[in-house]
Structure formats: structure tokens, C-alpha cells
Amino acid sequence: MEDTIHHAHPVAVRKAVEANAPPPELTLEDMASPSARVVALTTRPDAVVPGFAREPAHAGPGSRWVALMLPGGGACVAAALVEPAESSGFRADSTLDEAALRHSITISRMYVEPSYSGLDLAPMLAYLALRRGRLQQRTNAVAYMSDAGRALADLLDLRVLPELPSRRGQFARCQRLDIAIHRAYRAAGPRGQAVLRQGFIDEAVETLQQLVTPLLSTPYFMAVDDGTLSREQYIYSLSNLHQFVRWTTRLLGRAVSLSDDPELRGHFLNHLGGEVNHEVIIENDLAALGADVDVDYVVHAMVPNLGTQEFMVVQESLIGFHEDPVLFMAAPFAAEGFAANVTMRFITGLTACAKKWGVANPKKAVTFFASHVHFDGGDDGHWALTRDILAKNLPDDMRLQQFLNAVRLAMNGFIHCYASYVDELGIWTATPTAARD
């Protein structure tokens, strides 16, 4: 090994040393309005990245500042402004309407501390700005840029949009966000990427959190909250949940067998142990709802509805076809985020509904949900462990993107199935709109 290094080309040696050197300590920040440290950098003319700083310095709704800071409350060394294109200066300059711009973000200002020499900050800053666009599910990045910004335009392959008007020597440029962020990540180099990886889990968590609100706003959680969930809707939900809960241990068993990393394998083994016979809890809840519930049908003959199967195929594809235990973790990750946000209020509401339906022992009919929510907000460190394992198993931006997709797919499945449990059974509690003659 030593011999190889000794005889290698000097550039290769330097690259190998750079790749192995610890990344400089920098923290990533993403904020709705610029902090004092960001303002300190953005008011310095020598920090402007040439090409696309624009005046005046007001930011529209939904705008975010992204920044790289020195650790321990140190100075801001790079900052950029990211905005939804339809509420940015790009809209006025381009004369495009909202419909044309709503899938795009614009980066209108960038600042880099000129005396900082640890890393090339521009691609890292571009990555952070584009990441904000990814979180907003935008597909394109646009910017008005002059020739002075050519280096960055080339780095991200921002192409001129020839149909759009030029403005004070600046031209509208555009690139697909996925391509631009790929190029920014690649250009950041091994040490810059090590800094950017610190933000991977935060992006996954924010992606998940964005979808928790729509999930808890589905008619199912609303109906439990206002006491209007019907017995038929509840039976329909438990019956459908049974369709996938009964496969959980087998899916986790597959994840165990496909995990080469002992820590990952241990995580799935532990999870598997905690899921044994959870479908039986559902069967007991169904039985507690009344003698007319055909539990045998649910267990042996029922097929899930489409919303439910939408969730199922996500996890089945990731572990069954792709045999990818890390991406498969997106399903429990989504379920955890969901469980952590369902509160005691939901269980109390559900129990009150069961009482209203005349169930003999309402508490016995809600044990599946009651055993799956974290009442005290504590989760025995499980969430921290999940984050830790993910951080070790998402080595680059492509893997992160795959995981983010999996989280969105799993959460969309949850949203569609919980909405369906109420929407599809509306007839059972419908009241006539007019009296019959």
C-alpha cells in the first residue's frame, strides 16, 4: 500500500490525502429570514458572488436563506437567497405567469467570504439552495445572470432560455433541479460532500414532517376529532390495516436476511421482535366491536382497498424486488413519524366514538391504535437510533434522493388510505338532503 502511494502521480496522492482529511467544521443553516451573521456577510460588497446579485434586496413570501457557518457561533462564510420563482423578482423580469413558474425556484443572490480558503464554497452553497427547492418539490432552478456568473452557470449547466427578455445585461437561465443538484454535489468534492451529508437526515425528517400535517388532516383524523367517525368506517380501517400488518414480520424478516451490516440487521431484528402478532391485536379489536363483525373474512378472504395497497406495494417493492433494506426503512420511518404525532387526544376521541356506537367495552376496541402511539412523546430513544442508522447508511445524494422518494411514496400511501376509510363509506351515515313527499 505504501509502495503504491509512493509511486503514484503527485496529483493522485494529493487527491487521496484531501479525500482522507477531515472536512473543515462548518454548519448548515436554512432560515426564513437572515440572521445577524448572514446580514453581516451580505452587506459586504467583496462577498458578492458575481453574476446574479440583484437589487433591491427584498425577498418575497416563501423565501429562504441558506448558509454555511463557522462552528461555535462563528461567522457566516456563505449565504444565498432561494425563492419560489412565482413570488420572486424573476417573475417581473421574465413577465411569465404563475402557472409557468410554479415548479421552479430562483436563486437571486449569493455571497461567499473571500478570505475563507478551507473549501470551494460555491458548489456547497448551490447544493444547499437547490436542496431547499427539492424540499419544496420544485423541478427547475432559474436565475437571471450576467456573464460575470459564467463559472457558476457552467458548474450547474444553467442554460439560457432564449424566449425570455434580457434585463440589464442579464439573461434568464434554467436547469432541471435534479441535474443542477447532482452537479453541485459532485463539484463539492469529497470533503465538501462530507459537510453536506450532515444535512441528509434533516432533509429526510423535514420531508416526513411536511407530509404528517396532510395525513392528520385527512377526513379520518378529523372525524375522530369531532366524534363523527362511524362504526362502519372504523371497521373498514381496521380491516384494511390488517391486510398489511399481517405481513410486517415477514417483510422485516426479509430485511434482516438482506442486511449485511450487523447494526442494521440488529435494528431490524429488534423491530421484528416488537411486531409479532400485531395483526392479532386488530382481530381482537374487531371482535370487541360486536358479534356481527366477520373477522374470519378479514383474515382469510378480504383484499385491501387501493389506498391501502398503495402503501403496501411501496414497502414490498423496496424489500421484495429491490432487496434494499435501507430504502425499506422509509416505511417504518414514515410510520414512526405518524405515530409520534398521533396523540392521546386521538385515542380518547376514538374511545368516545366506540362508546357512542354502543360498544360494550370501548377501550377493548381501540387497542391497536392505543398500543402504537407514543403517549408521552418519548419513544425510548428509538427515533434517535433510526436517525443514527440512516445517517450511516445514506452515503451520497443519490441514495438520499432514493430514500426521500420512498418516504414520500409511503406517506402518500398512508394519506390515501386514511382518507379512503372515511370517504368510501360515507353512505353509512349519510342523511337525506330533503324530506320525501
Instruction: Give me the residues that bind Fe ion (CB under 5 A), please.
Output: 275, 278
In the bound complex, what is the minimum distance in angstroms from residue 357's beta carbon to Fe ion?
Answer: 24
How many Cβ atoms sit within 10 Å of the Cβ of residue 238?
Answer: 23
In the bound complex, what is the minimum distance in angstroms from residue 245's beta carbon to Fe ion?
Answer: 6
Q: Are 64 and 125 in contact (CB under 8 A)?
A: no
Distance between CA atoms of residues 414 and 218, nearest Å: 10
Q: Which is nearer to Fe ion, 103 or 364 (CB)?
A: 364
Q: Which is nearer to Fe ion, 106 or 240 (CB)?
A: 240
Please give the residue whose beta carbon sits closest to Fe ion in the complex: 278
Q: Are 192 and 23 in contact (CB under 8 A)?
A: yes
Q: Which of 251, 253, 271 is nearest to 315 (CA)?
A: 251
Q: Which is nearer to Fe ion, 278 or 356 (CB)?
A: 278
**What are the strands of the beta sheet with 140-145, ordered from one edge?**
27-31, 64-69, 76-84, 104-112, 140-145, 171-176, 159-160
- The residues near 163 (Cβ < 8 Å, ≥ 6 apart) are none
Q: Which is nearer to Fe ion, 104 or 249 (CB)?
A: 249
Q: Which is nearer to Fe ion, 75 or 276 (CB)?
A: 276
In the bound complex, what is the minimum distance in angstroms from residue 108's beta carbon to Fe ion?
Answer: 47
Q: Which is nearer to Fe ion, 275 or 316 (CB)?
A: 275
In the bound complex, what is the minimum distance in angstroms from residue 216's beta carbon to Fe ion?
Answer: 19
Q: Are 416 and 216 in contact (CB under 8 A)?
A: no
In the bound complex, what is the minimum distance in angstroms from residue 248's beta carbon to Fe ion?
Answer: 6
Q: Which is nearer to Fe ion, 278 or 387 (CB)?
A: 278
In the bound complex, what is the minimum distance in angstroms from residue 272's beta carbon to Fe ion?
Answer: 11
In the bound complex, what is the minimum distance in angstroms from residue 281's beta carbon to Fe ion?
Answer: 8
- Return the C-alpha torsion angle 174, 179, 181, 185, nearest 10: -130
Identity at 78, one-letter amino acid code = A
- N- to C-terminal Cα separation, the chain: 94
Q: Are 192 and 120 in contact (CB under 8 A)?
A: yes
